[in-house]
Structure 1
């Protein structure tokens, strides 16, 4: 399979993309908060329509989610004191990154842990002809699992067949190039796993 799905192992650095991601990493927080007697006002800067805002508990269960409707600045009040005592986090899912900021509720008191705010950069997949370019930025060099599956042929769905898999570790800028020429016509799926998240990308050939 290595001869068919050819991983050239080249360092394919998408300069513009990584420069953009690094600028995101150095930006101030997207989140700002203001408490009053009953509600916490949450303001998000530089959001786009289609971004997803969620509140999750410490186990990752979604308690609230909302698609941002307008590009620009988002502000909304939340009664977080109604939550049971425990640990939670806000999550903002943007185009190429996911930012989280944890908070706790204790005896109707909400405390945000801004020093624990973190950002995960999503794997980026670009297709040009028979070439698939994969890149991912991780400032903490988190492991990245990549699995490529063949999922259907001539419109007929089949049991997913694993075509290639690898785990990349101790690498800040991940770059991979896969060649699709020589493969059967049909649909493929790339599954990425990193930092407790799963991302998928579908490809038709």
Structure 2
């Protein structure tokens, strides 16, 4: 375990050094585009996507121990095209994640004998839930794409749990909550599904 962490510390530096730059061959159109990942050679891959409006985007690469090897927070961008060199990483699985305000895209990348490998089966997309208040009612909704168990937790201003429920969602999540005090904006909501918790 300690050996893995030492490797990761070195890799973090390598990734920053070998963030090569831009690529004109990769992009995806649309409001919420699919992540494009293209292998360029044995140790490098490029990612790219394009939005219709500016967004904040977070890019991370982690190892199998959930140790962050690379992280970048890009502010107010419409397009990102980057190439990464993973040369020097030990064999194993790594996880590329691209997150914006609406979605989280993830790609599993495996290194074997100093060569990167990945398949379309290793790509996942999670749509983030949203919440809003209308007519003194709190609404929680989301397009989950798959049937999943969803846990909704509501906290008051002091952080105390005032409501908690788990439901099986049939792709579309639609919940509404009324409060006795009539002040739905005084409460915070978190939604957990697909092993992720989103604070709304």
Common fold by TM > 0.5: yes
**Distance in 1 (alpha carbons) for counterparts of 2:179 and 2:88:** 52
Q: Are positions 1:115 and 2:121 aligned together?
A: yes
Number of residue-to-residue matches in the alignment: 170
Structure 1 residue 44: Cα displacement = 2.7
TM-score, length-normalised on structure 2?
0.73
Q: Is the 8 A contact 2:150 2:169 kept in 1?
A: no
CA gap 1:69/1:82 in 2 versus in 1, 3 angstroms: farther
Q: Does the aligned pair in 1 maintain the 2:96–2:106 contact within 8 Å?
A: yes
Give the counterpart of 1:80 among 78, 86, 89. Answer: 86
TM-score (structure 1 length as normaliser): 0.72
* 3-state SS of 1:49 partner: strand
1:106 is aligned to: 112
Which sits farther off after the overlay, 71-80 or 178-187?
178-187
Could you report, residue by residue, the CA deviation over 1:148-195 in whole angstroms, capped at 9, with x for unpaired residues? 11133xxxxxxx321111111142111111123516798422121111
Q: 1:41 aligns with which of 42, 46, 58?
A: 46
Greater RCO (CA < 8 Å, at least 6 residues apart):
1
The separation in 1 between residues aligned to 2:63 and 2:43, in whole angstroms, is 20
CA-CA distance at 1:136 after TM superposition? 1.7
* Contact 1:81-1:105 at 8 Å conserved across structures: no
Q: Distance in 2 between matches of 1:145 and 1:99?
A: 21
- Would the alpha carbon gap of residues 170 and 183 (structure 1) be closer, same or farther in structure 2, given more than 3 Å must change? closer
Structure 1 residues not aligned, in runs of 5+: 1-22, 153-159
Does the aligned pair in 2 maintain the 1:141–1:170 contact within 8 Å? yes
4+ aligned runs moved over 6 Å, structure 1: none
Task: Tell me the residue number matched to 2:199.
Answer: 200
Question: 1:17-166 maps to which residues of 2 (within 5 A)?
Answer: 29-36=34-41, 39-46=44-51, 48-152=54-158, 160-166=159-165
Q: Aligned-pair RMSD on alpha carbons?
A: 2.6
